[in-house]
Structure 1
């Protein structure tokens, strides 16, 4: 009986450790995300979403962003930024202003929209280099990642 209990305990412990490893960090502060992006030399993935009302945004998250294939890909390739436009919850005014400013800068008119960008700050001004954009794509993580890789590959710095 003790052996069974010990085996179950070890199994659940390893599942918990694996669950912790598979979590992604979605930044909400663009300045912090840009600093990480520049340090790690990875582009930003800007996810414009209506988290509490946009059906396609929720579907993109469930079918792609929450899958282990995406988690591994994202950790290796991009710095994630969520730019949310909720209807039911209230964002901090500074965060709301940041999100609307970026929505305007990238001319986002529908959700979900995902932009891949590089950023640099010179003399206090931030410049974004747009690499490409996408949104919801049917077919799961493999299809979505393939399209994302195509955008990133076409814009590799030589």
Structure 2
């Protein structure tokens, strides 16, 4: 019994150790990206209604290879626009995400992945693509050249 408990706790710890780190505040994320000299990946998603957003989440963002790579190479921020009442964000986050959308996603594409070097320097944009994780990482990195 104790062995099982230790095994489960170890699995949970390993899962937490590799979990994708999404910053909670856009301004802090931009500051962190500048301080660490990393690009910021800003993702516009509809987590509970957008099928390509959900596929991007499952196939790329939560993949252990991507998570490991992203921790060392990017700062990540997700501007989510859920529709279900049970998933609604706090009012200040809704306003912040709407403001970000006005600036970086005025056409309202979902998902939209924006690679930023600073608040005024968009390196590139992309969306969901049916690719292996390594290919998607190469695709994201192509905007850095």
Same fold (TM over 0.5): yes
Q: Does the C-alpha gap of structure 1 residues 11 and 53 become closer, same or farther in structure 2, counting only changes over 3 Å?
A: same
Q: Equivalences for 1:1-158 in 2 at 5 Å? A: 8=4, 11-88=7-84, 89-106=87-104, 107-119=106-118, 127-152=119-144, 154=145
Instruction: Answer yes or no: is the 8 Å Cα contact 1:46–1:115 preserved in 2.
Output: yes
Instruction: Answer yes or no: is the 8 Å Cα contact 1:137–1:143 preserved in 2.
Output: no
| Distance in 2 separating the partners of 1:66 and 1:145 | 13
Q: How many residues align?
A: 142
- Ranges in structure 1 where 5+ consecutive residues have no aligned partner: 120-126
TM-score (norm 2): 0.88
| Distance in 2 separating the partners of 1:98 and 1:75 | 24
Shift of 1:44: 0.8
Q: What is the CA deviation profile of residues 6-39 of structure 1, one whole-angstrom value per residue up to 9, with x for unaligned ones?
A: 6655544432331121112212321111121122
Shift of 1:116: 0.6
Instruction: Answer yes or no: is the 8 Å Cα contact 2:20–2:61 preserved in 1.
Output: no
Structure 1 stretches of at least 4 aligned residues deviating more than 6 Å after TM superposition: none
What's the secondary structure of 2:117's corresponding residue?
Answer: strand
TM-score (norm 1): 0.81
What's the secondary structure of 1:51's corresponding residue?
Answer: coil
Shift of 1:108: 4.3
Q: Does the C-alpha gap of structure 1 residues 37 and 108 become closer, same or farther in structure 2, counting only changes over 3 Å?
A: farther
| Distance in 2 separating the partners of 1:91 and 1:7 | 40
What's the secondary structure of 1:83's corresponding residue?
Answer: strand
Considering only CA atoms, is the larger Rg found in Structure 1 or Structure 2? Answer: 1
